[in-house]
Structure 1
């Protein structure tokens, strides 16, 4: 019987030692878990700092881009007409020469010819830049292209609703209307 008691006591001691071993193992696991959590937290904080830095750099880069494009757009608007102005300077020089010729010459035929050359040059210069005159007379009135100044009785039934006269020519710039034609319409 004593032997049995001794064996039971040994089992109790073994069991208590096992439970102590488990507790110490659990404590070491808790330490390992907290170390792992700390390293994950540091890793997450480092990643967050890196992302914030990337975000700030991206915002600064975008702000610089916005300022640069605004400046370029302003410069473009200021010099957009430079090409047409430079090409019209030749016509202006011709106008100056024609004016001098008008003051010194008495030959009307020669003066008319010189002025006609200036008119043709300005038309060809504008045409080279994409300006095209709108043909309106004897066409159907179109509210998309024409601005009716007045209506007059049509001379024939066929001329009703058509453009009879053009008070001011309309123009296209690269197939877009830049000025509507002011017309007289038959009713």
Structure 2
């Protein structure tokens, strides 16, 4: 039986954890999700363990495999003319585009909201960033430590006279 989102096409330009988890939910409910990965390294989550048989490999990351279940993946260079042309063709057929770049990156690539809206007026544009697209913190660098500090989660961690301490394991970025 097809899922409730079986007729929804999602273009996934997200990486690490928060964005891929969002698009995983679409895929889990039956949407056709196409993940765009950068040439060479792909999604950085591919290099985060644990790994199958404890052997690090880009195809064996449990985190990456969990976050990208039920998705198709294609490698495109978004800084190349051909890569941009192909992404724009995919946008024309998409219902949803999810991205997790820093503010301004999509515009610099020539894929800002106004451009995408002209290509596909019905497109739902999801922008997932640690500190938002506007406001006083929009340009802050994001890391687990920064996010813990900004959220208040570090209040009971570490000691005043020592370096900051982070929680064990990977948290959503």
**Higher-RCO chain (CA-CA 8 Å, sequence separation at least 6):** 2
Query: By the TM > 0.5 criterion, same fold?
Result: no
TM-score range, shorter chain: under 0.3
Give the TM-score of the pair, scaled to structure 2: 0.21
Give the TM-score of the pair, scaled to structure 1: 0.20
Larger Rg: 1
